[in-house]
Structure 1
Amino acid sequence: MSGFRNKTRQAARRVTAGLPALAMTAALAFPLPALAYEVVEESEERVIYSVEGDFDHYFEMVEFAIETEGLVINNVGHIADMLDRTAGQESGEGIYLNGRSVDFCSATYSRATMEADPHNITFCPYVIAIYELSAEPGTIYMSYQRVPQIGDEASQESLGDVNELVDRIVTEALMF
């Protein structure tokens, strides 16, 4: 990450605490248009949202939303690039114009899930995919797999909290 970009994010984090009140004030003073994103699919297994816009913009918004929660990105998977590199070997065509996944974890949420059931380690890290289909340029998708709410009551509750966290990150990223 470039020094300028890193300094910009650090400055943004310092002012994050005041943003909710500022956003409410701005929303009251300057009414905003309705949100442009939509839920494409919401099942027990996964959630998919879509929005019209620029891939790089929404990818950065996901990164920012994760960091705003105080979390650290572990890895960025360049899925579309990998598929493009291997297309000749696999006799495939371009599925995505852009496609990446971001994985991250939360010590707080993960500890709660693993204290409830040590086998919940399999659900960490959490992954959000951001992609643009070749057949639909300009439509950006964000999706994630839901963590199954299994085990005893404490396990189910903590895993449900993880789902809420990931959904909050995605919907916050979609608002900008």
Structure 2
Amino acid sequence: MKTVVLAATLGLALSTAALAEKPFTYPFDGSFEDATFAVESAIVGQGLVIDYVSHVGAMLNRTGSDVGSDATIFKNADIFLFCSAVISRQVMEKDPMNITHCPYGIFVMETDEGVMIGHKDYPDGSMQAVENLMQQIVAEAVGN
């Protein structure tokens, strides 16, 4: 019985988390290269250091045939990973479990529909400072 209750609770938690994770996306009027440069510049302009750039699009394109797929998901897609010592401390002092959201990521993707910049939707409450930072960076990158 405990296993059934635990499984149901876990399933509900995961489905609730999945609903909360619809990303914020913003169209970019320009090339993928211009968008990645704009995102990088906006992050660095906030005094932050980019820890890693994940080249998700290149990885998926490179490995598609290895996993039995010929679908092209992205023409290009990168995720810029970074953290803010000030904001991370602020949100983790409110709730140490906010560590699960660090590092923060902003993605740039290109599909047949165009280039888009975005970030995930962080939980309301103690993560609002991170979401504000992400929106500020993305707004600068898209030229708002």
What TM-score comes out, normalization by structure 1 length? 0.67
Highest relative contact order (Cα 8 Å, sep 6+), 1 or 2?
A: 2
CA RMSD for the aligned pairs? 1.5
* C-alpha distance in structure 2 between counterparts of 1:87 and 1:47, whole Å: 27
Q: Does structure 1 conserve the Cα–Cα contact (< 8 Å) formed by 2:92 and 2:99?
A: yes
- Equivalent residue letter for 2:104: Y
Aligned residue among 79, 86, 94 for 1:101: 79
2:132 maps to which residue?
164
* C-alpha distance in structure 2 between counterparts of 1:49 and 1:92, whole Å: 28
Q: Secondary structure at the match of 1:146?
A: coil
Alpha-carbon displacement from aligned partner over 1:106-148 (angstroms, at most 9, x marks no partner): 0000001111111111111110110101x23xx2111111211
1:40 maps to which residue?
none
Alpha-carbon displacement from aligned partner over 1:18-62 (angstroms, at most 9, x marks no partner): xxxxxxxxxxxxxxxxxxxxxxxxx95320111231110110110
Aligned residue among 99, 105, 108 for 1:130: 108
Listed as ranges, the gaps of 5+ residues in structure 2 are: 1-18
What TM-score comes out, normalization by structure 2 length? 0.81
> Which ranges of 4 or more aligned residues in structure 1 deviate by more than 2 Å?
none
Aligned residue among 72, 92, 95 for 1:117: 95
- Equivalent residue letter for 1:146: D
